[in-house]
Amino acid sequence: MIQHKSLPIWVFLFLVNGLVLCAGFLVLLGQNLNALRNTAQDQTEENLRTFADAMVPLVVQHTDDIDSFVKRIASHNPDFRITLINSAGIVTGDSDAPDITKLENHGMRKEVKAALSGYEGKAVRKSTVTKNDVMYYAVPVAINNNKYALRLSMPVYTSVYFSSNVRRTMEATGLVVLIAILIASFLVSAYIVHRINDLRKAAGKYRAGSLEYEPAVHSPRELQELGEAMNSMAKEIRKNISDISEKRDEFKAVFSGITEGLIVFDKSMNVVEYNGAASQMFSAADMHASPFSLASFVYTADILSLAQKAVKGDELSSDGIETEVRSLTAERSLLVRCVKIAQEQSGERYLLIFSDITHLKKLEQVRRDFVANVSHELKTPVTSIKGFSETLLDGALLDRDTTRHFLEIIDSQSGRLMNIIEDLLTLSRLEQDSRLPDMIPSDIVEATRETCESFMHAAEEKEITVSFASEPEKMQVLMNAGLYQQAVGNIIDNAVKYCPAGSYINCSIARKADASGKLFAEIIVQDTGQGIPPQFRGRIFERFFRVDKGRSREAGGTGLGLSITSHIIQIHGGTVCETGRTDGKSGARFVIMLPEYHL
């Protein structure tokens, strides 16, 4: 494909302006000359009409020698011609013709036909001799009751409005004006082009990285505004470069000083940059030059596999992976995550983040061992007691009634200890598991209704009424339904255990908003029992705390139910508290607040 070289802007502007101005000038000159010609014709016609009005009486008086008379009158002006034509079209007198008998019949002439018909007639025709436009004007004349046509003619150019001098003067003046306008247009175009070249020079310097140059363009206003905008742009770019340099230095300081290990690698699995923490984790302090192979830096298969998955574009877990790394100094447990941080012309880059969780793993193991040991120490005698009690219950002793009574007590206590152990294990799992339980958007209204219904049978046996009400029909909350029902169930279970016969337990759900407008599900469980004294409300969620220790043990409680409830609600990002009834009646009132889930 042939590419045509574009014209310089000064040539383009000059050609466009010149062509437009010339075309406009020619159109304007033509219109002026045409208007001047029309004016000249109108003036000539008016002059001939005036002459005709003056000639009619004279012609009537000199009918005997009309030809000599018209020749004598027109002799003073050779351009002026007078002709008298009878009704047959024959010329009876003419100021220009030496012999009128040789003239052709004029009856078919336009202006003559009109005059013989009794009207004024006119026509403009080119002279066969001079080739100039001639105005012919004829009026009717009655001589001795015969119709005649008196025709006067005069060249149009003789009018003062259409003289050759006036026309030449107009054309010369127009030409001079056109040349002056073209010169002025060229100068204006050159001025504008000079300013544009200055802006182009500034753009070239900016592209080359020199941002100090400022184009000095003061007019026209649009180019001045463009120049000012370019100056502002250059200053803003300089400022941005300075800010980026400062942030780069800050980033390097943070990157080097952060306690987590950081390794940046590219799609070719080469290390681009790493910090001191990563160097210590992998005993690679002697590696300074980069890039180098990631495998020579990170020699753990799990980490290399994670990096390869990132390069391939496989979906990675946001939680990362846990792996053991053995260095020259010690063995570490690391939590490793990989994220894509950039996509540049040079290629994609990825960031490996290493969190040293060795200390946390040790603490976790210590707590796990402690709970396991405590559980073992408690569960072993409980199992023995329960086993011997079952043996005694199945055997025959001398005092069977007494023996059975004590064995039943042993069996009851062993069951209570088993419940304590199960609750302790539940608390241990809630506290030690670093990962949140699986949570999905669920209808909290339905989950709470099911929990209430599960306790209705036990409540009926104690002549206690359990009811449920909800303001919204459905309400989505991000939760683990099993854990949530366990938390609410612990509160309802306590109410069923400790409320006297004839009590009422009511569970209700409402939608509430905080000061910022965030929506929450408010779950209220209240009863008509003895309630909780205000001085103990701040401690009821502590492990093994009991308001009435004797009555609690008689009811079979472990003292851990509300503590488990508190942990579960905290895991769900909510709060739980006991406020006491707000209607003045006795009884407990528990309020759970959980954030509503929105897509």
The tens-digit pLDDT sequence of the chain (599 residues) is 455 556 566 666 666 766 777 777 777 777 777 777 777 777 777 778 888 887 888 887 777 788 888 888 777 777 788 888 888 888 888 888 788 888 888 888 888 888 888 888 888 887 665 667 788 889 898 888 888 888 888 887 665 444 556 667 777 777 787 787 777 777 777 777 777 777 777 777 777 767 677 777 776 776 767 777 777 777 777 778 777 777 776 767 776 667 787 888 888 888 888 887 777 777 665 555 556 778 777 777 888 888 888 888 777 776 677 777 766 556 777 777 777 776 655 567 888 888 777 777 776 764 564 455 455 546 655 766 776 666 666 654 556 676 666 666 667 666 666 766 676 677 667 766 645 678 899 999 999 999 999 999 889 999 999 999 999 999 999 998 888 998 899 999 989 988 999 999 999 999 999 888 899 999 999 999 988 888 888 778 876 666 765 454 455 556 677 888 888 898 888 999 999 898 888 999 999 999 998 87
What is the pLDDT, as a whole number, of residue 508?
95
At 356, is the secondary structure helix, strand, or coil? strand
CA 185/CA 456 separation, integer angstroms: 99
**In the prediction, which pLDDT does 398 show?**
59
| Structural element, H or E, at residue 423 | helix 400-432
Report cis status (omega within 30 of 0) of the bond before 8: no
Max CA distance (Å), the chain = 191
CA–CA gap between residue 293 and residue 220 (Å, rounded): 60
Strand pairing report for 504-513 and 465-470: parallel
Closest CA to 441 of 290, 273, 598, 246: 598
Per DSSP (E only), the strands in 414-567 are 440-443, 465-470, 476-479, 504-513, 519-527
Which residues contact residue 106 at a Cβ distance below 8 angstroms, ignoring those fewer than 6 apart?
A: 83, 85, 89, 90, 91, 112, 149, 151
Question: Measured between alpha carbons, how far is 184 from 305 in angstroms, rounded to an integer?
Answer: 76
Considering only CA atoms, which of 170, 166, 157, 168 is closest in space to residue 131?
157
All residues at 6 or more sequence positions from 546 whose CB lies less than 8 Å from its CB, including other chains: 552, 553, 557, 559
Listed residue (569, 542, 540, 564) closest to 428, CA to CA: 564
Query: Encoding tokens for residue 373?
Result: 């040991």
Side-chain half-sphere exposure of 68, counting CA atoms within 13 A: 5
Rounded to whole angstroms, how far apart are CA atoms 541 and 544? Answer: 9
Closest CA to 322 of 309, 310, 335: 335
Instruction: Name residues whose C-beta falls within 8 Å of residue 273's C-beta, 6 or more positions apart in sequence.
Output: 255, 263, 264, 290
> What pLDDT does 453 receive?
92
Q: Taking the CB of residue 265, how many other CB atoms lie within 10 A of it?
A: 27
- pLDDT given for residue 543 in this prediction: 67
Q: What is the CA radius of gyration of the chain?
A: 58
For 34, the enclosing helix (H) or strand (E) is helix 9-61
User: What count of Cα atoms within 13 Å lies in the side-chain half-sphere of residue 417?
Assistant: 19
Give residue 159's pLDDT: 57
pLDDT of residue 397: 59
Q: What is the Cα–Cα distance from 203 to 199, expressed in whole angstroms?
A: 6
CA distances 283 to 84, 287, 328, Å, are 132, 9, 7
- Sheet (strand 504-513) strand order: 465-470, 504-513, 519-527, 589-595, 575-578
pTM above 0.75, yes or no: no
* Best CA proximity match to 563, nearest among 479, 490, 455: 490
Q: What is the pLDDT of residue 31?
A: 77
Neighbours of 247 (CB within 10 A): 11
Among 420, 562, 552, 437, smallest CA distance to 487 is for 562
DSSP string, 117-183: TTS-EEEEEE-TTT--EEEEEEEEEEETTEEEEEEEEEEGGGSGGG-HHHHHHHHHHHHHHHHHHHH
Burial annotation 519-536 (CB, 10 A radius, 16+ → b, else e): ebbebbbbbbbbbbeeee
Helices (H), 455-500: 456-461, 481-498
